[in-house]
Chain A
Amino acid sequence: MRRTLLFTGILAAALAGSAAITGVSLAQSPADVVAARQQAMKDKSAAVFRTMRPFVQNGAGSLAAVQAAAETLASHNGKYQALWPRGTELGVAGSKTRPELWQQTDRLNQLIADMERNASAMAVAARSGDAGQIRTAFGGVVGSCNACHDAYQSR
């Protein structure tokens, strides 16, 4: 009995770890997936627009906060694909994603690759503490946000 409980516990821990990495688990409903990705978007939006933006524009806030925000943003790398499974398009559980996203695999993959590269560059720039590097990297990040939202977010 104790062995069974231990095994179950290990399995549950492993599944939880897996879910944390991918952001969603296979057992999640479309509504859960949409909720998870909207939360992920809110986290990224706060990092980029509430923390990085005022720092880049007029030096408001602290470098430490920008570094933490950059790490938060980069921690989403590798998770984008799993957040947009089929069946979670516009009209499903408050989703704002236009169906073209699932029809343009190459374009989507490129946009995700660009975002991940820009997020990594932002983390490097933030660690350097160099204002010029941070400003340049920030432009890349915002460009990626804009490109994907412009392409696939319903207005």
Chain B
Amino acid sequence: MTPTRAADATSARGTLGRAVGAVLGFAVAVLSAVPAGAQAPAGDPARGEAVFNAAGCYGCHTDPVGPGAPLSGGRALKTPFGTFHSPNITPDGETGIGRWTEAQFAAAVRQGRMPTGESYFPAFPFVAYARMTDADVRDLFAYLRAQPPVRKANKPHDLSPPFGWRFLLPVWRTLYFDDDSLPPAPGRPESWVRGRYLVEVLGHCAECHTPRTWLGGIDRSRAYQGVGGGGVHDGGAVPGITQNPRTGIGNWSDDDILFLLEYGMTASGGTLGGGMGEVVRHGTAKMSDADRRAIVAYLRSLPAAP
């Protein structure tokens, strides 16, 4: 062996050694990051990101005041029932959802059930998410599990009695929760069907734009009529989005609505109040143009509020 070849062989062994070391190191790092019992999610995280944006997860699960790390929870949501603090949904095994199975995640999102079987408070919009498709749940789970884990303990809610009594939630659920499928819509174009899914399910628009009963249930008889004050989003007023030209968006053009959903301002340059700026920034601005148009198609079909 010539000196050059010997040097090459030494170098090759060194390179191989470093490569093996790097692979082993990476494997150890990956194995130690994945909590015991967790399985690799089956969903598509890239598709899950679109679901994540449309479902508005970032806004509630990230504390803008702290500020907290993305998705590590702790955001205070002031409502007439008290202040809720969102939980950590990063894949941390101790304080987040790192040890959850996909089935547990699906039960949380669509049924409002913790892994312990207890009910979440309906500040978490499981009433809307109940109709999320299997594929969207799976992909959303894959996306969340691909995010950086953050160790941050959840903060307890601060609710006024009796709204803080979790044992009353089963009663609330019998009044306001159902997981029936969205009804068939024969004759409606595909874009309307997609828009309905984005508005009613992922976007959970009714949570803020529909008035609530005194028990905090969504009052379907006044769907999307807006909330004059004392709304669930930090107590502010929320405008109606029915086709009523005075209280809703009946005199807005399609371009006006599309502009708001893409840029987060009204067509005349007005800023958006409450949480809508965040909804646009983290959600509708990132959607495809086709999805924003689908939302418009569905909103156009909402009957004008009286």
Q: Which residues of B contact A45 (CB under 8 A)?
A: 268-269
A139 to B286, CA, bound (A): 13
Using known A-B contacts A57-B255, A58-B255, determine if residue A150 contacts B271 with beta carbons closer than 8 Å: yes
Q: Which residues of A contact B264 (CB under 8 A)?
A: 142, 146
A94 at interface (Cβ–Cβ under 8 A)? no
B263 at interface (Cβ–Cβ under 8 A)? yes
Among A57, A58, A149, A155, the most chain B Cβ lie within 10 Å of the Cβ of A57
How big is the A interface, by class? Answer: 10 to 19
A53 to B265, CA, bound (A): 11
Contact of B271 with A53 in the complex, beta carbons under 8 Å: no
Q: Which of A99-155 contact B (CB under 8 A)?
A: 139, 142-143, 145-146, 149-150, 153, 155
How big is the B interface, by class? Answer: 10 to 19
A54 at interface (Cβ–Cβ under 8 A)? yes
Contact of B277 with A146 in the complex, beta carbons under 8 Å: yes
A57 to chain B, nearest CB (A): 5
Contact of A149 with B271 in the complex, beta carbons under 8 Å: yes
Contact of B271 with A153 in the complex, beta carbons under 8 Å: yes
Decide if the interface of chain B is mainly helix, strand, loop or mixed: mixed
Select one of B263, B271, B273 contacting A139, CB under 8 A: B263
Q: Which of A22-73 contact B (CB under 8 A)?
A: 45, 48-49, 53-54, 57-58
B268 to chain A, nearest CB (A): 6
A49 to B263, CA, bound (A): 12
Contact of A155 with B269 in the complex, beta carbons under 8 Å: no
Contact of B273 with A48 in the complex, beta carbons under 8 Å: no
Chain B 247-263: CB-based contact to A (< 8 A → 1; otherwise 0): 00000000100110001
B274 to chain A, nearest CB (A): 10
Q: Which of A58-95 contact B (CB under 8 A)?
A: 58
B267 at interface (Cβ–Cβ under 8 A)? yes
Q: Which residues of A contact B273 (CB under 8 A)?
A: 155
B264, closest chain A residue (CB)? A146
A54 to B268, CA, bound (A): 11
A142 to B255, CA, bound (A): 15
Using known A-B contacts A142-B263, A146-B263, determine if residue A57 contacts B258 with beta carbons closer than 8 Å: yes
B235 to chain A, nearest CB (A): 14
Contact of B259 with A150 in the complex, beta carbons under 8 Å: no
Q: Which residues of A contact B255 (CB under 8 A)?
A: 54, 57-58
B104 to chain A, nearest CB (A): 38
Contact of A48 with B271 in the complex, beta carbons under 8 Å: no
A139 to B263, CA, bound (A): 7
A150, closest chain B residue (CB)? B271
A41, closest chain B residue (CB)? B269
Contact of B258 with A48 in the complex, beta carbons under 8 Å: no
Using known A-B contacts A150-B271, A150-B277, A155-B273, determine if residue A145 contacts B265 with beta carbons closer than 8 Å: yes
Contact of A49 with B267 in the complex, beta carbons under 8 Å: yes
Contact of B265 with A142 in the complex, beta carbons under 8 Å: yes
B77 to chain A, nearest CB (A): 19
Q: Which of B262-299 contact A (CB under 8 A)?
A: 263-265, 267-269, 271, 273, 277
- Extra contacts besides A53-B259, A145-B265, A145-B269 (10): CB < 8 Å: A45-B269, A54-B255, A57-B255, A58-B255, A143-B263, A146-B263, A146-B271, A149-B271, A150-B277, A153-B271
Q: Nearest 5 pairs between A and B by C-beta?
A: A49-B269, A149-B271, A142-B263, A45-B269, A57-B255
Q: Report which B residues bind A (CB closer than 8 A).
A: 255, 258-259, 263-265, 267-269, 271, 273, 277
Q: Report which A residues bind B (CB closer than 8 A).
A: 45, 48-49, 53-54, 57-58, 139, 142-143, 145-146, 149-150, 153, 155
Cross-chain pairs A/B with CB under 8 angstroms, 7 sampled = A45-B268, A45-B269, A53-B259, A54-B255, A145-B265, A153-B271, A155-B273
